[in-house]
Amino acid sequence: METSPLIQMNGITKSYGSNVVLRDIDLAVRRQEVVVVIGPSGSGKSTLLRCMNLLERPDGGDVRIKGQSLTAKGVDIAAVRAEVGMVFQRFNLFPHMSVLDNVMLAPVQVRKRPPEEAKAKALALLAKVGLTEKADAKPESLSGGQAQRVAIARALAMEPEILLFDEPTSALDPEMVGEVLAVMKTLAAEGMTMVVVTHEMGFAREVGDRLLFMEQGAIVEEGVPREMFESPRQERTKLFLSKVL
């Protein structure tokens, strides 16, 4: 029986100059939980996500992954990041490598897996996201939806315990959103712990275990997605949902 949360954030603050992006955020994500974060642009949701693997360093507060503090001195941050996968809005595939090499790079270099083993694993993951035939392609030849599915396979290759999604479908043409969400739904069903920043309210309602609404650097309201969509308690949540639903 595991009780301690996978991600524990306490009193996270972050500012850029005089612009306060995160105000004293507390958040705990349990194993196998799918937490969906919504809110207007500039509300701090991407920054919050990026604090979870220290792509952004919080000004104050503590981030713990499996009880290990990321903000303490002397932490091997690369080792912690290896356990926390991230999928970006702009995919960020490595354009000078084939799709297969994109997926294999970290397992071989970070986990020191033998290349044959990493390749077999990578091909299995590409099959899982439906892109076996693209293994030797260069990222530039992929559609947005395909690129994002490769990016998910690349993150999964490290066998992370947590996957962070930073607006994974926002840069996609509408007809490609579905294929990426389908992969994400499969992962959620398999028990992957996920934190998803998104504007896809359908996904939030269907897949999310918990919904966070952020505005101006604070979590305004959180709850079960269905209940929050149907009867938001806060006026600001109501106002936001009335615009996006």
> In the complex with another protein, which residue's Cβ is closer, 122 or 211?
122
Q: Is 106 in the site for another protein (CB under 8 A)?
A: yes
Q: Is 189 in the site for another protein (CB under 8 A)?
A: no
Total interface residues for another protein by CB under 8 A:
26
CB within 8 A of 126, min separation 6: which ones?
Answer: 99, 100, 103, 132, 134, 135, 150, 153
Q: Which of residues 110-149 bind another protein (CB under 8 A)?
A: 110
Binder of another protein out of 72, 94, 226, 231 (CB under 8 A): 94
Q: Is 1 in the site for another protein (CB under 8 A)?
A: no
Instruction: Pull the structure tokens for residue 43.
Output: 């509300």
Binder of another protein out of 9, 29, 93, 99 (CB under 8 A): 93
Gap between the Cα atoms of 169 and 144, Å rounded: 9
Q: Is 82 in the site for another protein (CB under 8 A)?
A: yes
Which range of residues in 26-34, 79-87, 121-129, 230-238 is near another protein by CB under 8 A?
79-87
Q: Is 88 in the site for another protein (CB under 8 A)?
A: yes
**Nearest approach, Cβ of 139 to another protein (angstroms)?**
11
> In the complex with another protein, which residue's Cβ is closer, 72 or 94?
94
> In the complex with another protein, which residue's Cβ is closer, 102 or 237?
102
Q: Is 191 in the site for another protein (CB under 8 A)?
A: no
Binder of another protein out of 20, 55, 137, 241 (CB under 8 A): 55
Phi, then psi, of 230 in degrees rounded to 5: -85, -40
> In the complex with another protein, which residue's Cβ is closer, 164 or 228?
164
**Nearest approach, Cβ of 4 to another protein (angstroms)?**
22
C-beta of residue 80 within 8 angstroms of C-beta of residue 23: no
Q: Is 204 in the site for another protein (CB under 8 A)?
A: no
Scanning the structure block, which residue is given the tokens 């390749």? 119
Residues in touch with another protein (CB under 8 A): 53, 55, 78-79, 81-86, 88, 90, 92-96, 105-106, 109-110, 151, 154-155, 158, 164
